[in-house]
């Protein structure tokens, strides 16, 4: 499975740490930037990840900014994206289980590496339940 990664300057350090964790888990990665802590505009990177998912260049995405809020809003502007901001494992589990989130957003100034790694692993290891949730995901996809 290929996972797209993107961040702004506020999420850069966390993205780099998550990238190493995902490499160790054996995932193929597509790093869409940014490549330093120099100030950049988060909408560009949220959009880039959203477009990578929508086009099929990657199956899933993980994006980071300072809080995860701005970059998740940007990603959700791309048709076909269901980006969820998670600050704990339960949110990550429900994002996948009930919403079939295809992008996970994290806050580099909100989470430490241990917390973020648990959230990422929970999200990746959780399956979409389908069933009654499929109708709702279909509604989201039609919007």
Q: Give dist(CA 71, CA 45) in Å, integer.
A: 7
Q: Which tens digits make up the pLDDT trace of 103-132?
A: 999 999 999 999 999 999 999 999 999 999
Domain count, the chain: 1
Q: What is the pTM of this model?
A: 0.97
Choice among 9, 49, 64, 98 that is catalytic: 98
Residues found in the chain: 143
Residue 30 has pLDDT above 90, yes or no: yes
Domain range spanning residue 113?
A: 2-142
**CB 60 within 8 Å of CB 4:** yes
Q: Supply the mean pLDDT for the chain.
A: 97
Catalytic annotation present for 133? no
Alpha helices of the chain — where are they, by DSSP H? Answer: 12-24, 42-55, 69-75, 89-97, 113-125, 132-142
Choice among 9, 49, 64, 65 that is catalytic: 65
Residue 143 has pLDDT above 90, yes or no: no
Q: What is the pLDDT of residue 112?
A: 97
Catalytic annotation present for 98? yes
CATH of residue 64's domain is 3.40.1400.10
Q: Which tens digits make up the pLDDT trace of 69-110?
A: 999 999 999 999 999 999 999 999 999 999 999 999 999 999
């Amino acid at each position: 499975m290929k996972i797209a990664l993107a961040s702004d300057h506020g999420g850069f350090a966390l993205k780099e740490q998550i990238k190493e964790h995902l490499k160790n888990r054996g995932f193929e990665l597509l790093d869409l930037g940014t490549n330093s802590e120099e100030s950049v505009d988060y909408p560009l990177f949220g959009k880039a990840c959203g477009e990578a998912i929508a086009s099929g260049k990657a199956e899933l995405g993980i994006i980071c900014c300072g809080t995860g809020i701005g970059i998740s809003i940007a990603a959700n502007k791309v048709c076909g994206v269901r980006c969820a901001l998670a600050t704990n494992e339960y949110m990550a589990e429900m994002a996948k289980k009930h919403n079939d989130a295809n992008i996970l957003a994290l806050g580099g100034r909100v989470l430490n590496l241990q917390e973020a790694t648990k959230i990422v692993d929970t999200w990746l290891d959780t399956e979409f339940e389908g069933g009654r949730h499929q109708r709702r995901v279909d509604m989201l996809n039609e919007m």
